[in-house]
Structure 1
Amino acid sequence: MTLNNHVRDNFRHSMRRLTATVCVITCQHEGMRYGITATAVTSLCFEPVSVLACINSTSSLLHPLLASGKYCINLLSHNHTAVSQRFSTPLPSDERFATGEWRSNAQGVPYLADAQATLFCELDQTLPYATHHIVIGQVSDCQFSETIAPLLYQNGAYVTSTPLTTAVAG
C-alpha cells in the first residue's frame, strides 16, 4: 500500500468516527423538485447567518441549486431513516419526494414539514474543490421542532443521540 493509499484508508476510517446530523438538501428549478441526502453540512457564522454544505459535483442537485439560488437544508429527525435512504438512491429526483410529508414555501422550495429543523437558504458563494462544491448559503428563514431527536450517521450506520448524565462527585 502506498503512502497516499494508506492516508486515504486511514482517513476513511477516521471519518467513520465523526458523527453527523443527516440532512436532505432540496430545491426547485423550472417546476422540478430536487434533493439529496447529505452529512457534510455545518453552520458557518451568525453575521450573516449562514451555513455551508459540501455537494458532490456529479450530484443531480448541484446544477438546479446553482441555477435557482434558493434551497432548503432539512435536518432529519430520528424517525426519518426512510427519507434519508430514499434521497440516497439513484431514483429520478422527483420520485424521491414520495416518502415524507413534503411542502413548499412561498418561493416553491420544498421542505420536510416534520423535520428536526429547516433552514431556507439563498445561495451566496460556491467554491469548487476536487470532486465537490462547497456551497455557502445565507439563511433567510428557519424553523425547528421543539423535540430534539436528530437522525445521526456514524460508522456507516444511523444512530440517535442520548444525553449523558453528569456524575455527582461525592
Structure 2
Amino acid sequence: MVSQQDFRRAMAALPAAVNVITTDGGAGRHGMTATAVCSVTDEPASLLVCINKNARMHDLLRDNGRFCVNVLAAGQDGVSGAFSTRDLSIDERLAQAGAVIALDDGQPALAGAQVALGCRIAQVIAVGTHSIFIGEVEQVLIGQGVGALAYYERAYHHLGGAAPLSGARA
C-alpha cells in the first residue's frame, strides 16, 4: 500500500486548476477552494467535485443540492487564499473576491472567475474520507480573456491573462 505522504507528494506533481466552489440555499451559503474538480461527460454536461466529509462545505453542498464551480483566473491567488481560510466568514470571503453574479438558480458566481459553472447535484458517491459530488451543468458563464490559476508543486502558477465575466455587478 502507498503511504499517505508518498501519495500527497505525487499529487503535488499533478498540475490542477484552482477553483472556488460556492453554494447557497436552505442549508446556508458557503464557499471553499478546491482543486479536485474534473469534467465527467458532455452529454449530459457534468463535472465532479471531491469534498472531504469533515469539511463544513460537505453537508451544506449536499443539503442545498446545487453549487457553482468558479474556475479562478490568473492573478486570483488572493481569492483562493480567502476561500481556504477557516477564519473568514462567507461574507468576508465573497468581499475579497469582488463582484458576485447571482446565477439563474441563485448560486453565487465570482465575477472575476475565468469560468463559472452552475450545477445541480445528480449523484453523490462516498469514497474513503471524501464524497464525489457529480453535478449536471445547467448554466455556464465564460470570461472574456484567457488565463487560469493553476496549482503545482504546492505553489500557484499563472497561465495566460484574464478578464472578468460579462454581466458582472457589484
Alignment TM-score > 0.5, same fold? yes
1:1-80 alignment to 2 at 5 Å? 4=1, 7-30=3-26, 32-80=28-76
Q: Give the structure 1 partner of residue 96 of structure 2.
A: 99
Of 93-102 and 144-153, more deviation after overlay is shown by: 93-102
* Aligned partner (choices 93, 115, 118) of residue 116 of structure 2: 118
- Report the equivalent of 2:79: 83
Partners of 1:76 and 1:47 in 2: CA distance: 24
User: Percent of pairs identical after alignment?
Assistant: 37
Letter in 2 for 1:98: A
Normalised TM-score (structure 1): 0.86
| Gap regions ≥5 residues in structure 2 | 161-170
- Written as runs of structure 1 = structure 2, the 5 A alignment for 1:147-162 is 147-161=145-159
> 1:31: Cα distance to partner?
7.9
Q: For residues 149 and 48 of structure 2, what CA distance do their matches in structure 1 show?
A: 19
Confirm or deny: 8 A CA contact 1:60 1:93 kept in the other structure.
Answer: no
Question: What residue identity is the alignment partner of 2:150?
Answer: L
- Aligned to 1:107, what secondary structure does the other structure show? coil
Measure, in 1, the Cα distance between the counterparts of 2:25 and 2:91. Answer: 11
Q: Are the counterparts in 1 of residues 51 and 131 from structure 2 also a CA contact under 8 Å?
A: yes
CA offsets 1:86-128 (integer angstroms, 9 cap, x no match): 0001123333212122221232210101210010100000011
Letter of the 2:48 counterpart:
L
SS in 1 for 2:33: strand
Equivalent residue pairs, number? 158
Q: TM-score, normalised by structure 2?
A: 0.86
